[in-house]
Structure 1
């Protein structure tokens, strides 16, 4: 991919696809991690004498303006992080948007309204891509979390303007490529979350290449059910148990399942809990990996030289079931600090968990892409990246 240094940015309108799909509460940004992630690219464009014209989606509006999904609060958050004025455009495309961009003062940053207010955004409509491209002289892709989507603002615009990857996208691709193509050994992958169905492709791609693949979260109970174990009232994808069993048979030397579990009699932070080894009684559900599993997984991670982690080990949002996820976060931080391991964390819940643990700065790289990271690990073609080749 071309990078920012391959483009002449001086005096040019630089249309930048960023990922400002941030959590909001009461019209205010509650986590500005993704906004901060875009700052190196924005500052590089300003330093080169260009005008950044930022576009992003927020939430899932239905192809029409919806005040609940306006990016105006994000403009305010960005303004507080930059030593440059931020101009917010109430329109995404058209004459009003062009006047807003062209009228921006020198040294300013422009943020367009939500791209998903456009009916043709998610269908990668040609005319929508042309309208967006009319607002820039060059295009920079810097939204790794959206490159697995063939949208007008991620792929369509790239076909119409000189283009390059931004600093964030360049960093994401570099770390994931290094982890997957040139891993230090032992190479350990940690996969969690609720559904096996979301991770089958990743397991099939990673299991032949890693030394250990550690399974946690609710998806572990689909595997255990596939082996014929009693899992009580734990979440199980009944239509995936045979497939899970086949994966275990194919990769029995690599896949690791929890030995013990923190179980509860209800899905609640106030529920009665106990730790069980092996079978889970009826009326109880597994909500976290148990202490033996935490120790085993931490030991395997401690000796690793490359680690990829996607998905929590339990319902970490509830304090009684957070210890497994916290143990993984601490083990990654230890491997990074003590053994200079390459540690990459991705997926919304994993990122939230490592931030909650206060360890985001203690690992090598925290990815901004959940679905994009999974598809990258599967070896799929990501339309937003392919458009930059």
Structure 2
């Protein structure tokens, strides 16, 4: 992968694809982790005499302008973080107005384009849009690891038309996650959570042969428990994946660790009545909402001595305070392993959980890429990374 140090950016307009797909409530940013993660690349370009033109997507607009998906609030927050004005260009990225605004930039200036997914050709990797975007800059930098698995115009399409390189964040992400695939130091423990087996099946299958233990929590655990013949009440599960769960348990049962007890609720609500029950014997009208106290202790014990840890997905419905205990216990357990353990947190919910738990500064790497992290760990090639060759 070409790096920033190999790209001539002196007195150039540099088009930078960043990942500013941040959670918004109205026009208030709820978590600016992804914005902060882009600062080192932006600052390096500014220090080198570039003008910087940033582009990103936000949310899932339906192929046109939608005010709730505007990046205008991001420009304001980025200006605060950089300590200098950031010009927000409100016209469509492919428009003549945007081209004129970018051509007027001087070295040291920073501009942010409007949401690139307002362009109908973005997700189609449209050749005409690629050409229009390429006219905005003299060079292209991909620093949006969270979008690197997308073959979109702003990710890989424009890269073929301009001198290009991977940004500092992209390089850090690829290096950090590759350590989980190639010769990871053992013992190697993976913690997988979240709602669905189907979302992470390929990661599970790709990593199980190489790890020493895989701890499975969250909603996906109930598919495995049902596959073993357990009673899971109304707990979320996927009947279509019972056979696959049985297959994995039959082949890797000595590695897979499932929760033995569950904090169940009588409703999907923070106000639900709760009780701790065996995971394989949840009452009919109740549903599993979090791993129980015995499982928290067992998972913590299984992590002891690990030299490499990867965690993706919460242990329960951690958005509800009543059901956050399991996820917080895992966050603390991973953080407590200390600097001798290489620990990586990946996935949006896991990142939110580690941030909320106050343990974020005690792990080795927090990935900004949800789907991209998973696809890399599935063993897939990422179009954005390939385009930086």
Query: What are the within-5 Å matches in structure 2 for residues 217-236 of structure 1?
Result: 217-236=218-237
CA distance in 2: counterparts of 1:357 and 1:9, whole angstroms: 40
Determine the structure 2 residue equivalent to 1:346.
Answer: 346
Aligned: 1:311 with 2:313: yes
Q: Give the structure 2 partner of residue 108 of structure 1.
A: 109
Q: Distance in 1 between matches of 2:161 and 2:241?
A: 43
Distance in 2, matches of 1:25 and 1:317, equals 16
Aligned counterpart, 2:5: 5
Deviation at 1:61, TM superposition (A): 0.8
| Residues 160-175 of structure 1 aligned to structure 2 (within 5 Å) | 160-175=161-176
Matches within 5 A, 1:82-93: 82-91=82-91, 92-93=93-94
Gaps spanning 5+ residues in structure 1: where?
none
Shift of 1:214: 0.5
Moved over 6 A (4+): none
Matches within 5 A, 1:322-361: 322-337=324-339, 340-361=340-361
Is residue 302–residue 332 contact of structure 1 (8 Å, CA) maintained in 2?
A: no
* Equivalent residue, structure 1, for 2:290: 288
Partner Cα separation in structure 2 for residue 336 and residue 54 of structure 1: 36
- Shift of the alpha carbon at 1:70? 0.9
The number of residues matched between the two structures is 387
CA distance in 1, matches of 2:201, 2:355: 26
Given the alignment of the two structures, is residue 38 of structure 1 paired with residue 48 of structure 2, yes or no? no
- Partner SS state of residue 209, structure 2: coil
Local SS of the residue matching 1:228: coil
Q: 1:28 — aligned with what?
A: 28
Q: Cα distance, 1:87 vs. partner?
A: 1.0
SS in 2 for 1:179: coil
Give the superposition deviation at 1:320: 1.8
Report the Cα offset of residue 381 of structure 1: 1.5
Q: Are 1:321 and 2:323 counterparts?
A: yes
Can you list the C-alpha shifts for 1:248-284, whole angstroms capped at 9, x where unaligned? 1121121111111111111111111111124112111
Q: How does 1:210-249 map to 2 (within 5 A)?
A: 210-249=211-250
In 2: Cα distance, 1:268 partner to 1:21 partner: 27
Measured after TM superposition, the shift of residue 319 of structure 1 is 1.6
Report what 1:14 is aligned to: 14
Q: What is the CA deviation profile of residues 169-222 of structure 1, one whole-angstrom value per residue up to 9, with x for unaligned ones?
A: 110011111222131111001000000001110111000000001100000001
1:84 and 1:107 in contact (8 A); partners too: no
Length-normalised TM-score, structure 2: 0.98
Unaligned stretches of 5+ in structure 2? none
Kept after mapping to 2: 8 A contact 1:344/1:367: yes
Report the CA distance between 1:324 and its aligned residue: 0.8
What is the CA-CA distance between 1:145 and the residue it aligns to? Answer: 0.5
Superposed, 1:70-89 pairs within 5 Å as 70-89=70-89
CA distance in 2 between counterparts of 1:236 and 1:197 reads 10
Matched with 2:119 is 118
Q: Is the 8 A contact 2:46 2:107 kept in 1?
A: no
Q: Distance in 1 between matches of 2:38 and 2:183?
A: 27
- Structure 2 CA distance, aligned partners of 1:302 and 1:44? 39
In structure 1, distance between residues paired with 2:3 and 2:338:
28
How far does the alpha carbon of each residue in 1:52-101 deviate from its partner, in whole angstroms, 9 at most, with x for none?
A: 11000011111111222111111001000113321111121221111111
2: CA distance between counterparts of 1:72 and 1:26?
12
Is the contact between residue 26 and residue 68 of structure 2 (CA under 8 Å) also seen in structure 1? no
How far, CA to CA, are the matches of 2:364 and 2:304 in structure 1? Answer: 15
